[in-house]
Amino acid sequence: MADTSRRSTGIAGLDLALDGGFAPGTSIVISGSPLSGLELLAQQFWESGKRTGAYLMYDAVPGEGMTDARGMDAATLAGAMRGERIVVDSLSTLIAARGIDAAVGLVVEDTRALIEGGANIVYLLYTGFHGPFEEARIMRAVDIFISLRSQVNGNEFERTLAIEKLKGADVPQRVIPYHITAKGLELSTTSRVV
């Protein structure tokens, strides 16, 4: 039975894997390549809350309803966060601009009051842009770590989502196939044992 206190991710299959969605008061990293659909997952989470939280666009020109966070330091980013559903797009750009210590400080210290108040903060992290030490520090700092991976098999893409860290709960032992559609990510209702 799904926990009704959890916030929907905006994706039914991911909600199922997370027993109803994200527990309030958690920090989440979605990791993947720029073409993996991680931005779509973040937008689905934000939009499933009727855009009542903050979507801080650090990487590019913000879309409708998003906050222009380009050039902000970590403290200013934290000050711009509001609501229960917050997205930082992306933590990778913050690391490149301000360093790993600023990024970890944002995740652990600068947003502590928001997390303690029950907010969910989703951070995007691009794979292949950071060294193993930086990635490990981010992985340790967050409550939930989700990886999106893609592989080419013959003439087809195989995309899988893995929940690699789930603080206070058993980590699912399965990867979940997903597809990128015009509406966003769709997760398969069947999974594969890893």
* Domain assignments of the chain as residue spans, ordered by start: 23-149
Q: How confident is the model at residue 125 (pLDDT cuts 50, 70, 90)?
A: very high
Query: Other C-beta atoms within 10 Å of 194: how many?
Result: 9
CA 152, CA 158: separation in Å to the nearest integer?
A: 6
Q: How confident is the model at residue 1 (pLDDT cuts 50, 70, 90)?
A: very low
Angstrom distances, CA of residue 178 to CA of 55, 67, 109, 118, 188: 24, 29, 33, 29, 6
Which 3 state secondary structure label does DSSP give 49? coil
pLDDT score for 49: 85
pLDDT score for 51: 85
Q: How confident is the model at residue 193 (pLDDT cuts 50, 70, 90)?
A: low
Which CATH number applies to 23-149? Answer: 3.40.50.300
Query: Other C-beta atoms within 10 Å of 180: how many?
Result: 17
Q: Are 110 and 75 in contact (CB under 8 A)?
A: yes
CA 141 to chain centre: 13
Which 3 state secondary structure label does DSSP give 33? coil
Percentage of the chain beyond pLDDT 70 is 95
CA 17, CA 91: separation in Å to the nearest integer?
A: 24
CA 127, CA 117: separation in Å to the nearest integer?
A: 30
Q: What is the pTM of this model?
A: 0.92
Give the bridge partners for 68, in sequence order.
57
Q: Are 119 and 86 in contact (CB under 8 A)?
A: yes
pLDDT tens readout for residues 133-175: 999 999 999 999 999 999 888 888 899 999 999 998 888 888 9
pLDDT, mean over the chain: 92
